Chain A
Amino acid sequence: MSRVTRFAARDPGPMARLSAFMDHLRSHGFQLGVSETATATSALLCLPTPEPGAVRSALRAVCAGNAEQAARFDALFDAFWMDAGRVRQKAVPTDRAADHTSSSRRDEGAEPAAGAGGIHAPDGHDGGEAESDGEGLLQAARNANLMKKDLRDLVSPDDIRQAEAIARRLGAALRDRRSRRRKAARRGSVLDFRRTIRRALQTGGAPLRLAMRRRPDRPVKIAALVDVSGSMLVYARPFLAFLAGLLRADDAADAYLFHTRLTRITEALRDEDPMRALNRTTLLADGIGGGSKIGGALQHFNRSYARRLVDGRTVVLILSDGYDTDPPEAIADALAELRRRGCRIVWLNPLKGWRGYEPVARGMAAALPHLDLFEAANTLDDLAALEQRLEAL
Chain B
Amino acid sequence: MKDLQQQLARQGYVAGDDLAMALHLAVTLGRPLLLEGAAGVGKTEIARALAAARETRLIRLQCYEGLDASHAIYEWNYQRQLLAIQAGRGEEDIFSRQYLLERPLLQAITQAMPPVLLIDEIDRADEEFEAYLLEILSDFQVTVPELGTIEATTRPIVILTANGTRDLSDALRRRCLYTHVDYPDRKTELAILNARHPGLEAKLAGQIVGFVQSLRKEELRKTPGIAEMLDFAAALAGLGLSDLTEDPAALSAALATLLKTEADRAAIPPEVAARLAGKAA
Show the binding face of A for B, using Cβ within 8 Å.
31, 33, 35-36, 39, 42-43, 46-48, 53-54, 57-58, 60-62, 64-67, 70-71, 103, 179-182, 193-194, 196-197, 200-201, 204-205, 207, 307-309, 311
Residues of A within 8 A of B178 (CB): 61, 64-66, 70
Given A181-B66, A307-B164, answer yes or no on A54-B21 (Cβ-Cβ < 8 Å). yes
Stretch at the interface among B110-118, B166-174, B187-195, B273-281: B166-174
B180 within 8 A of A: yes
Cβ B177 vs Cβ A61 within 8 A: yes
Cβ B36 vs Cβ A61 within 8 A: no
B179 within 8 A of A: yes
Contact of A181 among B76, B78, B128, B177 (CB under 8 A): B128
Known: A57-B22, A61-B21, A309-B166. 6 other contacts (CB 8 A): A43-B29, A65-B170, A67-B37, A71-B180, A197-B81, A197-B82
Cβ B167 vs Cβ A62 within 8 A: no
> A201 to B170, alpha carbons, bound, how many Å?
42
Residues of B within 8 A of A207 (CB): 82
> A67 to B66, alpha carbons, bound, how many Å?
26
Cβ B76 vs Cβ A193 within 8 A: yes
Residues of A within 8 A of B17 (CB): 53, 57
**Can you list 8 A-B pairs, Cβ within 8 angstroms, ordered by A?**
A33-B174, A36-B174, A53-B17, A66-B178, A67-B37, A70-B179, A182-B66, A201-B91
| Cβ-closest chain A residue relative to B126 | A181
Given A57-B17, A181-B66, answer yes or no on A65-B173 (Cβ-Cβ < 8 Å). yes
Number of interface residues of B (CB under 8 A): 39
Given A43-B25, A181-B66, answer yes or no on A61-B179 (Cβ-Cβ < 8 Å). yes
Most A CB within 10 A of own CB, among B68, B166, B170: B166
> A60 to B179, alpha carbons, bound, how many Å?
8
B65 within 8 A of A: yes
Residues of A within 8 A of B20 (CB): 57
In B153-203, the 8 Å CB interface with A consists of 164-167, 170, 173-174, 177-180
Residues of B within 8 A of A43 (CB): 25, 29
Given A46-B25, A181-B128, answer yes or no on A200-B177 (Cβ-Cβ < 8 Å). no
Residues of B within 8 A of A62 (CB): 25, 177
Cβ B28 vs Cβ A46 within 8 A: yes
Cβ A197 vs Cβ B76 within 8 A: yes
Cβ B174 vs Cβ A65 within 8 A: yes
In B13-30, the 8 Å CB interface with A consists of 17-18, 20-22, 25, 28-29
Q: Tell me the minimal C-beta distance from A253 to chain B in angstroms.
A: 13
B131 within 8 A of A: no
> A46 to B21, alpha carbons, bound, how many Å?
11
Cβ A64 vs Cβ B180 within 8 A: yes
Most A CB within 10 A of own CB, among B36, B78, B178: B178
The proximity string for B residues 43-59 relative to A, scoring 1 for CB distances below 8 Å and 0 otherwise, is: 00000000000000000
| Cβ-closest chain B residue relative to A194 | B76
> A264 to B81, alpha carbons, bound, how many Å?
54
> A31 to B175, alpha carbons, bound, how many Å?
12
> A70 to B179, alpha carbons, bound, how many Å?
8
Cβ B22 vs Cβ A61 within 8 A: yes
Cβ B25 vs Cβ A61 within 8 A: yes
Residues of B within 8 A of A60 (CB): 18, 22, 179
| Cβ-closest chain A residue relative to B172 | A65
Residues of A within 8 A of B28 (CB): 46
> A33 to B17, alpha carbons, bound, how many Å?
26
| Cβ-closest chain A residue relative to B166 | A311
Given A65-B174, A200-B85, answer yes or no on A308-B166 (Cβ-Cβ < 8 Å). yes
> A62 to B179, alpha carbons, bound, how many Å?
9
Residues of A within 8 A of B21 (CB): 54, 57-58, 61
Cβ B25 vs Cβ A311 within 8 A: no
Cβ A57 vs Cβ B18 within 8 A: yes
Residues of A within 8 A of B76 (CB): 193-194, 197
> A193 to B76, alpha carbons, bound, how many Å?
9
> A194 to B75, alpha carbons, bound, how many Å?
9
Cβ B166 vs Cβ A66 within 8 A: no
| Cβ-closest chain A residue relative to B83 | A205
Q: Tell me the minimal C-beta distance from A285 to chain B in angstroms.
A: 22
> A292 to B244, alpha carbons, bound, how many Å?
46
| Cβ-closest chain A residue relative to B85 | A205
Cβ A180 vs Cβ B85 within 8 A: no
> A62 to B26, alpha carbons, bound, how many Å?
10
Given A61-B18, A61-B22, A180-B66, answer yes or no on A67-B180 (Cβ-Cβ < 8 Å). yes
